Amino acid sequence: MRTQVGIVGAGPAGLMLSHLLHRHGIESVVLESRSRDHVEHRVRAGVLEQGSVDLLCRTGVGERLRREGLRHEGIELRFAGESHRVPMTELTGRAITVYGQQEVVKDLIAARLAAGGTIHFDAEVLRLAGLNSAEPVVHFRRDGRDEELRCDFVVGCDGFHGVSRGAVPEGVLTSYERTYPFAWLGVLAAAAPAVEELIYANHERGFALYSMRSPEISRLYLQVAPDEDITRWPDERIWAELRARLETVPGWSLNEGPILEKSITPMRSFVVEPMQWERLFLAGDAVHIVPPTGAKGMNLALADVALLGDAFAAWYDRADAELLTNYSATALRRVWRAQHFSWWMTSMLHRLAGDDPYEAKLQTATLRYVATSRGYATSLAENYVGLPEV
Ligand code: RFL
Ligand code: PHB
C-alpha cells in the first residue's frame, strides 16, 4: 500500500488533517486501531473555539455544527457563595460553540468517506520505520495480518498513548510534564441543562463543572481523587456531590436525570519538543496534553493540523519546505499559550493538595479579581475563546 501522507489515528487531528490534505489534492491514508463505532461514540471534549468553528465551516464540514452547535457568549464562575458571569463576546467579539467531539469526528468521517477517502479502522500501527529516508514505512496489523503502508511523510495523530512519539530516537525529544493530584469524574445525563452557559465552580469540596451537549443532555464533571474507583460513585452519590458543589447560589438548582455514561480522566500537562523529526510530524494529544479545565485539547489538535495542511500544500505545490520546517516552532507558540492558560484555570478552580489555607485565599482573590476587573476578565475571555494569533 502506498500514499503521500500516512496518518496514524482517527481522532479530530488525524481526520481533520486527512480532510485538509484532500482539499489540497494530496492523498492520505488514515490508520486507526479502534472500530468506527468506538471512535464515533467516545464521549470527550465539547467546547470549540471560534477559530475551530471557522475552520470546520470554511472547509465544508460545518453544516450540522451550524445547525446543532450551541453558541455561548459567556461563562459563569461560582465561588465563595457568589456567581459571576464573564461576558466573553462583549469582551472579545468572539464566542465558543458547544458541540461534542464525537460529533466532529462523525462529521469528518462522513466527509472523508463521501469524498472517497481511505480510513482503515481496526488497523493498529505497530511501528514506524525509515523516518529518515525518502520513503517511511508504517507497519500495522489488520485482521490478524501484518501490513505495510509506504508514504512520503508520516503524521502521528495517535494521542497520548500512541506509538508515533516513541519512534523518535532517544535524545531528540525533550518533554515537559506536570501531573495533578486529582482527576475528573465526567457524566453524561439525560437531563435538560438548568442553565444556558457553562458553570465553573470552585468549592471547598472540590471543583465542579456544569456543561451540556444539547437542550436535552447535560455534561457534568466533579474533581475526584486521582486513583478514584468509579464503582464507588453510584448515581445518587454523583448527584448529591454535584448539588453540594453547584447549588451554592440561593434559588438555583440543577436538573437531574438518568446517567448515560460515566468515566474518570486523570489530569496532566505534557509537551514534547520538537513536534517533528525527519519525515515524522506529530500533532494533537500525541505531543501535548492539557488538563481539560481550559477546554483547549481538541482546539489545539485542530490548530496543529491546520498548520500542517498548509505546510504540505506548499511542499507538494511548489516544493517549498519552509512551512514544514517551521511547523514545530509555529505550533509550539500556541501550545505553550494554552499550556499556561489551562494550568492557570486548573490552579484557580480546584481544591489543591494539602488544603493550604493560604492557597485557598489566593484562589478566591484571583476569582474575585476576574469577576471585578475588565482587564483580567478580558485575559480569561480571550484565551478561552481562542487567540487568533499567538
Ligand atoms: P485522540 O482523540 O486521542 O485520537 C487519537 C487516535 O489515535 C488512535 N490510536 C491509534 N491508531 C492506530 N494505531 C495505534 N497504535 C494507535 N494508538 C492510538 C486512538 O484510538 C484515537 O482514535 O487525539 P487527537 O486527535 O489529538 O485529539 C485530541 C482530543 O481528543 C483531546 O485533546 C480532547 O478530547 C481533550 N479534551 C477537551 N478538549 C477541548 O478542546 N475542549 C474540551 O472541552 C475538552 N474537554 C477533553 C475534555 C478530554 C477529556 N478526556 C476524556 C481526556 C474533557 C475530557 C473529559
Ligand atoms: C465539556 O463540555 O465536555 C467540557 C466543557 C468545558 C471544559 C471541559 C469539558 O473545560
Q: Which ligand is nearest to the CA of 267?
A: 1
Q: Which residues are catalytic?
A: 72, 200, 292, 296, 384
- Distance linking the first and last C-alpha atoms of the chain: 39
Ligand 2 contact, 219 CB (< 6 A): yes
Ligand 1 contact, 40 CB (< 6 A): no
Domains of the chain: 5-46+100-173+274-344 (3.50.50.60), 180-267+352-385 (3.30.9.10)
Ligand 1 contact, 186 CB (< 6 A): yes
Residue 91 is predicted with a pLDDT of 98
Q: Which atom of ligand 1 is nearest to the CA of 186?
A: 55
Ligand 1 contact, 212 CB (< 6 A): no
Cβ neighbour number for residue 331 with a 10 Å cutoff? 27
The list of the chain residues with pLDDT below 70 reads: none
C-alpha angle 376/291/331, rounded to 5°?
Answer: 80
Residue 353 is predicted with a pLDDT of 84
Which of 40, 50, 261, 285 gets mutated to test ligand 1 (max ligand atoms within 8 A of its CB)?
285
Residue 389 is predicted with a pLDDT of 76
| Distance from C-alpha of 341 to C-alpha of 327, rounded to nearest angstrom | 22
Residue with cell 482503515: 120
Ligand 1 contact, 92 CB (< 6 A): no
Residue with cell 490552579: 347
Residue 355 is predicted with a pLDDT of 86
CB 274 within 8 A of CB 173: yes
**CA dihedral (162, 165, 168, 174) positive or negative:** negative
The pTM assigned to this predicted structure is 0.97
Residue with cell 535524545: 171
Residue 308 is predicted with a pLDDT of 98
Q: Which ligand is nearest to the CA of 140?
A: 1
| Distance from C-alpha of 260 to C-alpha of 268, rounded to nearest angstrom | 26
Q: How far is the CA of 374 from the centre of ligand 1 (A)?
A: 34
Pairing of strands 75-79, 145-150: unpaired
Q: Which ligand is nearest to the CA of 43?
A: 1
Ligand 1 contact, 304 CB (< 6 A): no
| Distance from C-alpha of 40 to C-alpha of 236, rounded to nearest angstrom | 28
Residue 340 is predicted with a pLDDT of 98
Q: How far is the CA of 285 from the centre of ligand 1 (A)?
A: 6
Distance of CA 143 to the CA centre of its chain: 30
Residue 354 is predicted with a pLDDT of 86
Q: How far is the CA of 302 from the centre of ligand 2 (A)?
A: 16
